[in-house]
């Protein structure tokens, strides 16, 4: 059940340095860039984890999106969904192509903040600080395996609530029941793993009701329980994680990648060209 992407966060290894709740990094506004109209924030694992933990301590309901090319193109195709993502309190650069895009847009310090790895940083902090968490998504079997992973690697972590919703849209009665279960559990962090764009819409609709910090984690439950393989680190660094996942699940993913990837490249190159023209014009006017 090991996860190849995150050995540094296992028991016995040193955790990344935490950012104190009152630090300048936490109190300062985030640098952000618009990629095809969708906001992406420039952060790090330590900074994002510190913000999330500070929100839980202050009992501030928030939601966090881990963005990749798929999410960018979903927001490009839907104004409603763009508003959902842009309304998040933190949008991390989950996908390597978005890190490249941020650097091309003038943020050389941009780095990847991958959702499944961010989840482990947050779980480590939650176990250390006694913050109860909830898991929403997956199946009963996958949640059981993931819980075993968490208890093995983060002794003392408090998992207050487990919900495996149906793969169809829940009925209003089911949704109200699940929401109340999370409220009654006292969970202050909710990891949501029902896939993009469903999980982002769910978080936007439920954040205020739950009075917790919600994090959209996609397939992280299955990655860390070992049910789904993650791309080798080298492929991730090269921005080829999509290719690995396509090889693993061709029937489910080929339409997504065929639809989104070429359009993202073309549209972002046009955005970048337009930005270069604007910058050139400003420079010319000053000279």
pLDDT digits (tens, 9 = 90+) for 230-275: 777 787 777 878 777 777 778 777 778 788 899 999 999 999 999 8
Q: What phi and psi, each to the nearest 5 degrees, are found at residue 98?
A: -75, -30
Mean pLDDT calculated for residue range 168-194: 96
Predicted confidence (pLDDT) at residue 6 exceeds the cutoff of 60: no
pLDDT at 244: 73
Predicted confidence (pLDDT) at residue 16 exceeds the cutoff of 60: no
- pLDDT band for position 29 (cuts 50, 70, 90): confident
The helix (H) or strand (E) run that includes residue 133 is strand 133-137
Residue 28 vs residue 159, higher pLDDT: 159
pTM of the model: 0.84
Quote the CA–CA distance of 126 and 157 in Å, as a whole number.
Answer: 7
Percent of the chain beyond pLDDT 90?
67
Please answer whether residues 160 and 187 qualify as being in contact, where contact means their C-beta atoms are separated by less than 8 angstroms.
Answer: yes
pLDDT at 235: 78
CB atoms near residue 147 (< 10 Å): 16
């Amino acid at each position: 059940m090991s996860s190849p992407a995150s050995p540094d966060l296992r028991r016995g290894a040193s955790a990344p340095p935490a950012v104190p709740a009152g630090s300048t990094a936490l109190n300062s506004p985030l640098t952000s860039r618009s990629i095809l109209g969708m906001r992406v924030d420039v952060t790090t694992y330590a900074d994002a984890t510190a913000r999330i933990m500070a929100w839980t301590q202050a009992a501030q309901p928030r939601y966090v999106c881990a963005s990749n090319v798929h999410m960018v193109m979903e927001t490009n195709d839907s104004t409603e969904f763009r508003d959902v993502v842009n309304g998040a309190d933190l949008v991390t650069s989950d996908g390597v192509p978005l890190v490249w895009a941020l650097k091309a847009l003038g943020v050389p310090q941009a780095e990847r903040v991958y959702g499944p790895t961010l989840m482990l940083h947050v779980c480590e902090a939650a176990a250390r600080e006694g913050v109860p968490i909830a898991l929403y998504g997956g199946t009963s079997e996958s949640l059981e395996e993931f819980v075993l992973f968490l208890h093995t690697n983060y002794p003392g972590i408090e998992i207050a609530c487990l919900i495996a919703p149906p793969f169809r849209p829940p009925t209003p009665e089911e949704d109200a029941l699940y929401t109340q279960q999370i409220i009654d559990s006292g969970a202050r962090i909710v990891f949501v793993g029902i896939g993009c764009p469903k999980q982002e819409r769910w978080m936007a609709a439920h954040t205020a009701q739950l009075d917790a910090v919600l994090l959209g984690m996609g397939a992280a439950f299955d990655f860390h329980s070992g049910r789904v393989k993650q791309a080798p680190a080298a492929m991730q660094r090269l921005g080829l994680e999509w290719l690995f996942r396509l090889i693993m699940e061709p029937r489910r993913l080929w339409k997504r990648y065929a639809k989104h990837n070429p359009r993202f490249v073309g549209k972002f190159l046009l955005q970048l060209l337009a930005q270069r023209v604007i910058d050139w014009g400003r420079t010319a006017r000053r000279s």
